[in-house]
Structure 1
């Protein structure tokens, strides 16, 4: 064993586990860790202007690369600032490790008023993490990091929070950095696979419902293979976009708040294969599952199977592993679906969307037309992004990042920065509203400093648009708290050293995006919009 400080044990363990970059904001209880990063030269460090951004960048990095994203913050206010992003990672089953400094070990639980002290800080993170832990000795750090990584890489990949007290960072002791352990998915019960294959092979109109679990397991190719073997159309959730290429003949599109192909297709289904989805419908759905429809649900988390709807067969396992095994035993396609039926459903979806959201669809199409097939889009909590869930065709997995049910206002821009760090050669675009962009606007400085040529499209209607629309629709037009005063976003971007483009009409977006994608620096495109109807 080598003598090392707690900070050295922490950074060495992270590097040994394959971590490449740490996002964070310097502060007194973690300065030893920053110094270790500097001296060891094994990890890259990226400073941000708010701890929420550190965790969001870790989130965007993790979602697009499949690797663990790591953020490092001080305890108390720093850790608490990161909770919204950590909650987003929890909602989307994303492997984010938040390393928090802590007060001195002798001050833990004493409530003396130590700097940044929060009594029982780990209790704050218990509902937001898969595991949280505070180490007390230098010797414990390598094992704690190893345990954190196992939690992040096995089962359902939800976030982890690890705390290291300040005096433990500084102390020295003999410590051994273990080699990473290989992680393999648990084997699948053959009898369950056979039962699923029999149900699906006997179906006349099978449908596949694909959620974020397909993306998280890197099971898109396997899902597409199963769909082709069954001749089964696929409906995705927003989190599952990319589970099958959006232009594949069997891709029907996405269900979101009652819109999408489900109301035309599901009524015809006799067997529904649900993969990596909670199957929880927010908002009113214009249909319901019938008693004679058989549901097969595949999920890595046993607690999700049958939680929201009764199932005929539940299979607990990694989506990619289960789908791969299922594809091997399925007979050739035998369903009754005809290509013209599926095209008719797609046409009906498009016609409905054109009727209710023509401007939003034109903007979504303009964005898609300018982006490469492997471009990454981060649709924020803003009107055009809502309709993008339904109308933006995703051609590759891990290229469309939502905040899922957490619906975190302000997540898009900082998440896009993390995605760009992990994918420096790919186009990365964020869709923000004028309300949401203000959450992380100072991170334009981070984007410039780190050389991240992200394009942030800001749709400006001078309001928290969804809630203003709600006041107009449900509260008799009594407007309070939803109108906004905004800066000139394009001019403000220029003061940071980014490029700013201010449009006079929404129709100019395509050309502006084309120009922005050619820039070697971050760009903000300001797009004027009226307040528009939402899908919900």
Structure 2
């Protein structure tokens, strides 16, 4: 019997959505219940054997946990929150997921159907909410009737997972979730086909590479599922692969061709061909702000709109794996550039030595790397240690360095790491935070305890928004405003939630504390005391002067 022949079942709107989630193999929903979605969360409660629901103390955490779940696994993360202020609280996380090409489904409510678009001031009313959500993510829709839910949810999953992955949102009126109608299920829809690779463009790119002296490959999160193909291309071309934030780990840092931005910068002035795979390539005009004379750029990206955003020599529209594979085959046929293995070794060694000056951040990062298992997951934060980690923390595999991407979302790290740990209960996961960012969601220690999320969190406490403090000191005459912070005793704060708390003030102390934290079967918070203004600036390695 196919679905068209299946007898429709009488169900509520909430049941119709949950039934569709089950059809798409969803096993976890991060939800904060509220009046407009009671019918949904009640259905989740009745389907707890199939889908676990994890609560939170703030809507932003629900969405960040969904982001962490999806970012670390590649599977869609799902969150559910109330409309208006609830979905707006979650919007920073949705924007972060969209920026990082991460599939997240947000489910939210709306005013009762009879009051929609009437401006009567109903609870949580946000005029034109679905249009707001369309501007934040990739796709959004309003479900009118339960019978429409299976198709709309299937469309959401199709949109999230096709082409450039991103955020989808479904909303429905307050009354929808408890109203009933006959519903016929819909099978998951096929992912839209990838654009065909233009063989003429591939040939043009191969001709550029045939005469290249010093090519370099740059990867972003759009290449995270093309690791093997990117590495093969790199080996064929003899080019280093530079991962910046979302591209970290696509080629392991301990591979001879795996380069951080610090190592890549050593070779950038002599680069004659840049191959950009699944990346916005912000290094070119935002970070490095230097274009080597005569530079040629080859770009492989699945998003056709990227063609107009960056002027390049050869634009190959297509899936990262398909494009990298086709280009490698063409280069093998036409001839590869000469190898320069010794130059690459020297650049990596010089960069590794140079970044040692960024202290104490790099020292702490080295301690973390020594203790964190090879396949452990590192969740960064907009902090001094987080900035240094972009170039100073070795990453060995894809989805093992979680970042907020170009959004640079302060406060995202700890709640995102909770979602990462939920999705990866058998892996070691570490969240590194500054004191300022951690306090955005510090109350979620309660969530960690309540749901047994055994995350290790390291809070580097310099009693400041460290980067703002440095900028005000260096560029604005030391007129500090809003950058100096007064914090709680983080150890006592953690212990008040039932979290194990430890305070250290040295690299050796952190290493010992981490050994014990990863062995503990409970959430652990480690506070690292750092003098205010005592961090070295990481910016010479993120915005180098050429």
TM > 0.5: yes
- 5+ residue gaps, structure 2, are 1-7, 540-546
Cα distance in 2 between the residues matched to 1:227 and 1:422: 31
* TM-score normalised by length of structure 2: 0.93
| Alpha-carbon distance, 1:272 to partner | 1.3
Contact 1:201 1:331 in 2 (8 A): no
Q: Deviations along 1:9-37, whole A, 9 cap, x unmatched?
A: 11001110121110011111111112212
In structure 1, how many angstroms separate the alpha carbons of the residues matched to 2:462 and 2:271?
41
Aligned to 2:175, the other structure's residue is in SS state helix
Aligned to 2:260: 253
Instruction: Choose which of 19, 23, 27 in structure 1 pairs with 2:30.
Output: 23
Structure 1: give runs of 5+ residues left out of the alignment: 255-259
SS of 1:425's partner is coil
- Work out the CA distance in 1 between the residues paired with 2:288 and 2:82: 48
Q: Is the 8 Å Cα contact of residues 272 and 292 (structure 2) preserved in structure 1?
A: no
Superposed displacement of residue 511, structure 1: 1.1
Partner residue, 1:7? 14
CA distance in 2, matches of 1:484, 1:7: 44
User: Does 1:522 find its partner at 2:523?
Assistant: yes
Contact 1:417 1:452 in 2 (8 A): yes
Tell me what 2:205 maps to: 196
The answer for the alignment partner of 1:129 in structure 2 is 137
Whether the 8 Å contact between 1:192 and 1:315 is mirrored in structure 2 is: yes
Shift in Å, 1:283: 8.2
Q: Which residue of 2 aligns with 1:142?
A: 150
Shift of 1:469: 0.8
Q: Secondary structure at the match of 1:447?
A: helix
- Given candidates 137, 158, 181, the residue that maps to 1:173 is 181
Counterpart secondary structure, 1:71? strand
Deviates more, 1:404-413 or 1:498-507: 498-507
Q: Could you tell me which of 301, 314, 322 is aligned with 2:303?
A: 301
Structure-1 residue corresponding to 2:195: 186
Contact 1:188–1:317 under 8 Å retained in 2? yes
- Give the equivalent residue in structure 1 for 2:93: 85
Corresponding residue number in structure 2 for 1:482: 483
For the 8 Å contact 2:195–2:317, the answer to whether it is kept is: no
Matched, 1:336 2:334: no
Return the offset for 1:252. 2.3
Task: Tell me the secondary structure at the aligned position of residue 53 of structure 2.
Answer: strand
SS in 1 for 2:460: strand
* Contact 1:212–1:237 under 8 Å retained in 2: no
| 1:239 and 2:260 matched | no
1:267–1:287 Cα contact (<8 Å) kept: no
CA distance in 2 between partners of 1:244 and 1:482 (Å):
37
Aligned mate of 1:277, from 272, 276, 279:
279
| Structure-2 separation of matches of 1:466 and 1:244 | 30
Give 3-state SS (helix, strand or coil) of 1:494's partner: helix
Q: How many residues align?
A: 527
- 3-state SS of the aligned residue for 1:331? helix
For 1:346 and 1:504, the matched residues in 2 are separated by 30
Asked if residue 32 in structure 1 is aligned to residue 39 in structure 2, the reply is yes
TM-score by length of 1: 0.95
Structure 2 partner of 1:419: 420
How far residue 286 of structure 1 moved from its aligned partner, in angstroms, is 5.4
Q: 1:455-496: per-residue Cα shift (whole Å, max 9, x none)? A: 110000111111111111011111121111111111211121
Tell me if structure 2 keeps the 8 A contact 1:374–1:396.
Answer: yes
CA contact (8 A) 2:195 2:302 kept: no
Q: Which residues of 2 match residues 381-530 of structure 1 at below 5 A?
A: 381-530=382-531
Deviation per CA, 1:242-298, whole angstroms, max 9, x where unpaired? 1101110012212xxxxx234321222222111111112388755622452221001
**Hey, what's the Cα distance between the residues in 1 that align with 2:252 and 2:538?**
24
Task: Say which of 161, 166, 173 aligns to 2:169.
Answer: 161
In 2: Cα distance, 1:429 partner to 1:286 partner: 29
Matching residue of 1:257: none
Question: 2:356 — aligned with what?
Answer: 354
